[in-house]
Amino acid sequence: MTENDRVFVPGTASEYERADFWIEELRRLDRVLEKPALSLIHLADEAAKRAISGEGRTLATVPTTIDERLPRLAQSLAVHAVATSAVQRLEARRRRFPWLRDLYPVLARLHEALPASFLEHPALKSRDPLGMLDALHDSAFGTLSPVTTSEVFWLLVRAGEKAAHGDLGFLALFGLLWALKRRLHGPFELGASLGSWRPTVAVTARCLFPILHLNGIVRSRASLWLRARDISEDIEKYARGRNQFERWKFASELDRLSGVLHSLAVISIKPQDFHDTAYKITNIASPLRPNSLTAPLAPRVRAAIRELFALLRDQNAAVLAKAEHATSIVQKGILGLLATPGSRREALGESCKLIPDWKAQYEAAEWAHEICADALRELQNAVGVCDRLPRGDDFTHAVMIDTFNRLAAINDRVHTILGDAIETNVEWCVRGVTREVALASAKNDTDFDATELLSGIVIAERTDRIKRALVNDAIRLSLRVARDDGSWWSTQPVFLEKRVLGVWPSTPDVVLLLATAVKPHPSILCADPYLLRFVGWLEGRIISQDPAWWKRVPDVPALWGWASEAREPGIDVYTTAQAVKALLVIRGIIEDRLWSICEERFTVMPTLKGLPSVDPVDLGARHEERLQTQFVRNAARARLEEPNADYSYILHGPPGSSKSTLAYAIGREMWRIDGTTRFIRITPADFTRRGELGLDVEARFIFRLLSCVRGVTVLFDEIDDLLRLREIGAPPSFIRLVIPGMLNRLQDLRDAASRQEICFILGTNYIDQIEPALTRPGRIDAAISIPYPDAWSRECILERIAGTVTREVKEFVVANTPEWPWSTYRKLCDHLSAKSTLAQAEEFVRQLRLEFQPPDYYYFNEKRWMTTSPLVTEFVHGAFAMSKNADDCRKRVRTLMHFLEGKDGVRLADLSLLEKFETEWRREGRS
């Protein structure tokens, strides 16, 4: 173990040292990644432009090699697919890298152009099945090779349903299943192989990866349809709107349904149709007020869903028509060629590098065709389901629920068809882990193959068939073939023909598998030094080439990348693309290591309630102006990377106004990393661990660490003293000297928020004492006042908790609890039930009123009003809690104005309390 590896030994490094180490490694990785990533984007963009322009009679591809001394623009579909797949992954993570910002228009163009260039391959227009196979032909590996086909299918699956379910998608799926089913080396020799070489776990895993990913998407789609069904059931349940609670739930369930439709858009053929329907439903909810009639709106929701089903039918019909051609014409044509001796069968065998065991080849191809046909039939059933739906009033709630169920069932059946089809190959890959572990344990380096072992681990992880302890042991054994310089010894070949032509996994191939195997297990640290050595190896081997000889990229001063390990001159595009993929996965691992430090260092909230589960406090406002609605919709904007999304808040209000609860709920809505929510709470104790003199050092550590983690929501709770208003002429103190640094660090954190998917929230009871510079644009996106529940909200909370109380009890409770803290009011509701009498309610109110300070204690203090601040907005929103009647609320404002009149240092005219009241009352649409 080298000196740089010492931090990975448990107990030998502090959290400060580990954080500094990993942050520096993250920055080094980004430096190594930047130029090769940009070069791949430029190459892919140029290839896409040529494909769109129709230049040439074959697919326009990136070059396999870039060498200014010996320009060799060999065509390789496999290399092109690997390179464009790497660009696809970069596009999906574009917000991580500031140096990609200028290329956003290019990446947006490539998002559509890359899959389109494959889908518009000239060969797909051929009427001859054998000619159509040229769409998956590679000069080195032949036609329908598992290597080429798996890379193309990966790209199509990531591009979305439109690409994966089309003609090329089904042709690629057929090719992969055909390769997985062949039993050309005996009935017990499972797995896929290249040409006549033996089956290997490495090649089999390459076939399985995109199929497993596609199957995961299918399962997610089924789950989302069921969620839409459940939410629709709730919408129907609450549409009667018999009380405040039901009207609130109706509106909030509409927002939830919109969120599900946005999620379905990501995995649909035409995402915009789902987004548009989601916005329609959002618009139905937006104008709702506490007394709005909700029953007439349920049919409008059903009409929007009915229209979406019609669009879904049209989407699928057009794409699946192409899939029908690929399945019924091309695949059957291939079966016909395999069954008929002659020159065309020989040409097919030569093109696909088939072993001439025609019976076995035919049986495997026939099985693969049946799987594709079964899956296609189920997908076509979805078209039929949507096509036969009744229109108008005949499209009832029951019909809509049945449609959701049928669409979910169809996706479940597709998931089962594909899962059963690959089951034996998955099991074979998993058994390969045991075999390779035994070879490594016996020190049989002749037969041991790290690529086989790591490929099997990744398949076992993705199908949940391996324990973490075995993963840890297996990864340790795989490290035996790593070199000290960061490269890896050559493993067993995945293809060998006549002992002359061979294909071996390269170092980037192996490290990509290693990083992928390590990523799901944050506690497995043994591979970290080897992954970082690989980054160092790449850093030392990066080369550049002048693209002037290749006149297609005139705006690029140089292209960067890595040479192959075969000592060929110039940049090897395949090696570069695989290295970029590996670096992206390693970057995710480094972010996980930094998150692990956060888990040790701060308070992590394990379970969080979503915003729809939090009781409202401002139901008197229009739905679109309510707090929960704003937070839910902003979270959706942030996930979709919309430019108007907010990433930082100050939540301010009197004690007990649900600030922390809302902050936790915001965390639940904002981000999900590997299906989990990351939320941490930071208090003054986290800043003062080293005492007052160490506060600045600790603050620097905290903000530096937070700026580099991913997908986290941070609540800075009760840190008012660290952000205290700086007073002119006040005696100097260490805290006051720290404040300017805190403000700058908060701005740095905000700058990183969009890039790293961070949301941070400050909670305070005294917004007037916070440094005003904090709330200026750039540091905090929005200062949000959190009032006590207004009368409409109190009524809703009472109905939810206590059920059907008598009318006189409800009216008494709502009228006698204005400006009650949210937590205390919920406690009161817990005491009440349908059997509670008015006398009991009066006694409960009397007792609980003694448990909190009345708001006058916080607001009727002239020192708080000596400057204009968000405190005005806070008080005005608090005044809304007095009554459902506007005059009663105005009276509360006038009472404060009367109190402040004539007080020294208070400029009542500047506060504009009454004007603010009228403005906010109108903005929120209160009746």
Residue 67 corresponds to which tokens in the numbers above? 């060498």
pLDDT-based confidence at 693, cuts 50/70/90?
confident
pLDDT 10s digits, 775-831: 777 778 999 999 999 999 999 999 999 888 889 999 999 999 999 998 899 999 999
Return the pLDDT at 502.
66
**166-170, 652-656, 714-718, 864-868: which range is least confident on average?**
864-868
Q: What pLDDT does residue 737 have? A: 39
pLDDT on residue 3: 43
Calculate the average pLDDT of the chain.
Answer: 88
Q: What is the mean pLDDT of residues 485-503?
A: 73
- Residue 836's pLDDT is 86
Query: What CA–CA distance (Å, rounded) separates 254 from 622?
Result: 14
Q: Residue 36 is encoded by which pair of tokens?
A: 């090769």
> Is residue 627 within 8 Å of 56, Cβ to Cβ?
no
pLDDT value for 734: 37
| Interstrand relation of 678-682 and 712-717 (parallel, antiparallel or unpaired) | parallel
* 206-220, 746-760, 765-779, 851-865: which is most confident: 206-220
Q: Is the pLDDT confidence value at 554 over 80? A: no
| pLDDT reported for residue 434 | 93
Question: At 7, is the pLDDT very low, low, confident or very high (cuts 50, 70, 90)?
Answer: very low
Cβ neighbours, 10 Å, residue 168: 25
What is d(CA 301, CA 48) in angstroms, rounded to the nearest whole number? 41
Whether the pLDDT of residue 421 is over 90: the answer is yes
> What does the pLDDT look like over 250-296, one tens digit per residue?
999 999 999 999 999 988 888 899 999 999 999 999 999 999 999 99
Confidence of residue 550 (pLDDT cuts 50, 70, 90): low
Q: Rounded to an integer, what distance in angstroms lies between the CA atom of residue 320 and that of residue 380?
A: 7
Rounded Cα distance between 318 and 387, Å, is 13
As a whole number, mean pLDDT of residues 892-898 equals 94
**DSSP characters for 485-536?**
TS-B-----SEEETTTEEE---HHHHHHHHHHHHTT-TT--TTHHHHHHHHH
Q: Answer yes or no: is pLDDT of 58 > 60.
A: no
| Listed range (301-310, 421-430, 490-499, 621-630) with the worst mean pLDDT | 490-499
Buried-state track 676-695, b at ≥16 Cβ within 10 A, e below 16: ebbbbbbeeebbeeeeeeeb
The 3 state secondary structure assigned to 827-878 is HHHHHCCCCCCHHHHHHHHHHHHHHCCCCHHHHCCHHHHCCCCCHHHHHHHH
pLDDT mean over 293-306: 94
SS (H, E, C) 150-198: HHHHHHHHHHCHHHHCCHHHHHHHHHHHHHHHCCCCCCCCCCCCCCCCC
* pLDDT at residue number 640: 83
Mean pLDDT score, 399-403: 95
Proportion of the chain above pLDDT 70, given as a percent: 92
Distance CA 2, CA 6 (A): 7
Percentage with pLDDT > 90 across the chain:
57
CA dihedral 245, 247, 248, 249 (to 10 degrees): 80
* pLDDT greater at residue 361 or residue 197: 361
Which token pair is 753?
């928020």
Q: Under DSSP, is residue 707 helix (H, G, I), strand (E, B) or coil?
A: coil
The pLDDT value recorded for residue 726 is 46
411 Ramachandran zone, left/alpha/beta (phi>0; psi -120 to 50): alpha
14 is written with which tokens?
A: 């502090």
Residue 735 confidence (pLDDT): 43
Integer Cα distance of 252 and 611 in angstroms? 9
Give the mean pLDDT of 453-460.
95
pLDDT at 676: 83
Q: What is the DSSP letter of 676?
A: B
Residue 559 phi, psi dihedral angles, 5° rounding: -105, 140
Give CB contacts under 8 A, 24+ apart, made by 352-359. 352/133, 352/142, 352/143, 352/144, 352/145, 353/141, 353/142, 353/143, 353/145, 353/194, 353/195, 353/196, 355/184, 355/195, 355/196, 357/184
Q: Is 42 in contact with 100 (CB distance < 8 Å)?
A: no
**Is the alpha carbon torsion for 108, 111, 113, 116 positive or negative?**
negative
Contacts 24+ apart (CB under 8 A), 343-348: 344/130, 347/130, 348/130, 348/133
Question: 2 near 529, Cβ under 8 Å?
Answer: yes
User: Which of 497-506, 688-697, 913-922 has the weakest average pLDDT?
Assistant: 497-506
Q: Residue range 43-65: average pLDDT?
A: 74
736 pLDDT exceeds 50?
Answer: no
pLDDT confidence band for 189 (50 / 70 / 90): confident
pLDDT band at 579 (very low <50, low <70, confident <90, very high): very high
Check pLDDT > 90 for residue 692. no
Range from 224-228, 362-366, 486-490, 556-560 carrying the lowest mean pLDDT: 556-560
Rg, the chain, Cα only? 32
| Single-letter code of the amino acid located at 558 | A
Strand ranges of the sheet holding 648-652, from the earlier edge strand across to the other edge = 603-604, 678-682, 712-717, 758-764, 648-652, 782-785
Taking only the tens place, the pLDDT of each residue in 170-188 is: 999 999 999 999 876 666 6
Q: DSSP letter string over 602-653?
A: SEEP-----GGGSPPS-TTS-GGGSHHHHHHHHHHHHHTT-TT---EEEEE-
Q: How far is CA 867 from the centre of its chain?
A: 43
Residue 729 has pLDDT above 50, yes or no: no
Give the pLDDT of residue 12.
Answer: 61
Reported pTM: 0.92
- Rounded to whole angstroms, how far apart are CA atoms 288 and 282? 11
Q: Is the pLDDT of residue 323 over 50?
A: yes
